[in-house]
Structure 1
């Protein structure tokens, strides 16, 4: 059966072609840049020429750990560096729009953190500015590039399970939010800064839902202000449905992080290995049961890479290829506006206790 997996593995390939590589600078030197962005870029052979952070000491330490040549003294200095063609923005979401505007006006292509913008109108403004300046913006929705998710999506697209009918993500973990102090005081937490990964991944497989329902809550004694337990239901035309059920207050030491896609002719199921011992992680697991192939029961797919750091090369590699070829990145900012719209519909449902329709635009 291994020959059947060759096109699936090709769809998960994170290799960046030499002709696509170009100099990158990073704005932000927080935890995720240290443990994910820079290790992934190094493995992919990408050229990170410099880094800037408001905390100069932290930027210097991160640069030294990863062999980054230049620590910029200011954002202006970074944007004036003519070597830099691409800027990876990894700052808190409230600071991102201003950095995006400044970087676009300096003529840089951008990889932005998610959520891309605080609201859809701001997101549309930034997309319009990039279009006007003929520049590319991609969004760092890297779970789409995680090997387990990418392989599952390729299997669905290959028709291995027939017509998809349902997808579910179940995550029950203990999350230490203290690495991101600003997250401890935000009113919007779980959907906006964690389940955004799963919701975007579901969109990459099933497309956009037409109606959603969401409920969220806190756990007695939790440290963060915002919701840490959520249940999100996505309704698609016909009988297709998706469910995301997440809790971050697992106090019994038995984490789980599962996903499953059911179809008319089979199913795919797997685990998100990163979440079993974050941030070190372990490879995902993935299995397919198909009447199309056919398989004899559940057939394992050999996942070899990890969400952190490996998948972080995906959005950047996709952006670099789009710049070289004049094509569209996999996680373009325009597409990410649909993910942003979905998040806000879920919060509206959470606040009102009612389901919400999603208008297409």
Structure 2
């Protein structure tokens, strides 16, 4: 297959701003767009030069000119759309979180596996050059044994993205399923370690409605014994993002790196002083699509697999439960 032909499910901001360009940058073709609203689908198709639009999932999935789908609808819709795509024989790249429950996420991944299809979770942050450089430095032993990590992912959610994220619990709103799930995947990737338990507290800073949290702080315990702190929010207008890992022989200080944009830097600090790691930035979504298309062609696997999506969801759900109960909560990573 020389050209992967895509169908888009969902007229999302991320599709418009990032994924359409990433697919085309990799030589992919976008054959059709589906939205529950026929008018919205038609407008989106016209604005992005997509040949066909539909409001019916069956119409899109029944097309012979589509090899793979990218799903960026609201979270509660992912399960049925992924299962339908797998039943139709389409490869699947799905936004995070995969679903609202672990049972549903496991069923989605299992169905794709049974059909011999590639399934990826669009965890873009593991494609950041900053995080890949940190992972390589840790594997090379440059900070010794990792002991602690800290993730700063508190941002301001702009008005055009607020919507369901702040007032629809049934759609999987709230900062934990929107941002903490990213922290979980990025920590797992950078540390090459698995979290086993979490404690957390949530807050409402005035943006979240319907009892949805718009801020959270959590502490994860990893299998190695490492402790990681996460701070996520929708309500901090002036904060900067960052990712730190501290070992017994050095520290890695990543700044301005928990972002969709290819930017940020990483400082290595040891007994020999400080030095910036060499970073070759690349569009995160272009890399994500490239690795997904390579996997479809039989070369490697997606940047984040369906199994990775299950594990990051498991961490997010355990974080929410820990905040609700006020107790340390086990994280079940069975896929």
What TM-score does the superposition give when structure 1 sets the normalisation length?
A: 0.83
Paired residues, number? 329
Cα deviation digits, residues 158-188 of structure 1 (max 9, x gap): 3332322221112343222543522222345
Which residue of the other structure, out of 51, 58, 65, is the alignment partner of 1:83?
65
Looking at structure 2, the residues matched to 52 and 332 of structure 1 have their Cα atoms a distance apart, in angstroms, of 24
**Residue 158 of structure 1 aligns with which residue?**
140
State whether residues 149 and 229 of structure 2, in contact with CA within 8 Å, keep that contact through their aligned partners in structure 1: yes
Give the SS at the match of 1:160. coil
Q: Deviations over 1:332-359 (max 9, x none)?
A: 1123211111111111110100101224
Going from structure 1 to structure 2, the CA distance change for 1:282 and 1:84 (only over 3 Å counts) comes to: closer
CA pair 135-173 structure 1, distance change in 2 beyond 3 A: closer
Tell me the SS of whatever aligns to 2:33.
strand
Tell me which residue corresponds to 2:78. 96
Q: Which runs of 5+ in 1 are unaligned?
A: 1-18
Change (3 A) 1:131 1:261: same
The match for 2:101 among 98, 106, 119 is 119
1:257–1:272 CA contact under 8 A, matched in 2:
yes
Q: Is the 8 A contact 2:181 2:315 kept in 1?
A: no
Alignment of 1:183-332 (within 5 A): 183-187=165-169, 188-206=173-191, 207-219=193-205, 221-225=206-210, 226-237=212-223, 239-250=225-236, 253-272=237-256, 283-290=263-270, 296-305=273-282, 310-325=283-298, 327-332=300-305
Q: Which segment is superposed worse, 349-358 or 152-161?
A: 152-161
Write the distance in 2 (CA, Å) between the matches of 1:184 and 1:286: 32
Check the 8 A contact 2:34/2:53 in 1, yes or no. Answer: yes
Normalising by structure 2, report the TM-score: 0.89
Q: Relative to structure 1, is the Cα distance of residues 64 and 148 closer, same or farther in structure 2, using a 3 angstrom cutoff?
A: farther
| 2:322 equivalent to 1:349 | yes
Aligned-partner SS, 2:269: strand
Note if contact 1:24-1:88 (Cα within 8 Å) is conserved in structure 2: yes
Alpha-carbon contact 1:139-1:315 (below 8 Å) kept: no
The residue aligned with 1:175 is 157
Are the counterparts in 1 of residues 155 and 235 from structure 2 also a CA contact under 8 Å? yes
| Distance in 2, Cα, partners of 1:274 & 1:350 | 23
3-state DSSP class of the match of 1:301?
coil
2:143 and 2:2 map into 1 onto residues whose CA distance is 34
| 1:260 positional shift | 0.8
User: Aligned partners of 2:55, 2:222: CA distance in 1, in Å?
Assistant: 49
Instruction: After TM superposition, give the deviation of residue 61 of structure 1 in Å.
Output: 3.3
Q: Residues 41 and 158 (structure 1 numbering): CA distance in 2 closer, same or farther, change over 3 Å?
A: farther
Q: 1:312/1:239 Cα in 2 relative to 1: closer, same or farther (>3 Å)? A: same
SS at match of 1:51: strand
RMSD: 2.4
The CA distance in 2 between the partners of 1:298 and 1:215, in whole Å, is 35
Residues 288 and 303 of structure 2 are in contact (CA less than 8 Å); yes or no, is this contact kept in structure 1? yes
Show CA shifts across 1:106-130 (max 9, x none).
Answer: 1101011111021111112222222
Q: Kindly state the Cα deviation for residue 73 of structure 1 after the two structures are TM-superposed.
A: 4.9
Match of 2:30 among 41, 45, 48: 48
Secondary structure of the 2:263 match is: coil
Query: Hey, what's the Cα distance between the residues in 1 that align with 2:141 and 2:43?
Result: 48
Between stretches 84-93 and 229-238, larger displacement belongs to 229-238
Deviating beyond 6 angstroms after TM superposition, the runs of 4 or more aligned structure 1 residues are: none
Instruction: Give the whole-Å Cα distance in 2 for the aligned partners of 1:148 and 1:65.
Output: 33
Partner residue of 1:62 out of 44, 49, 57: 44
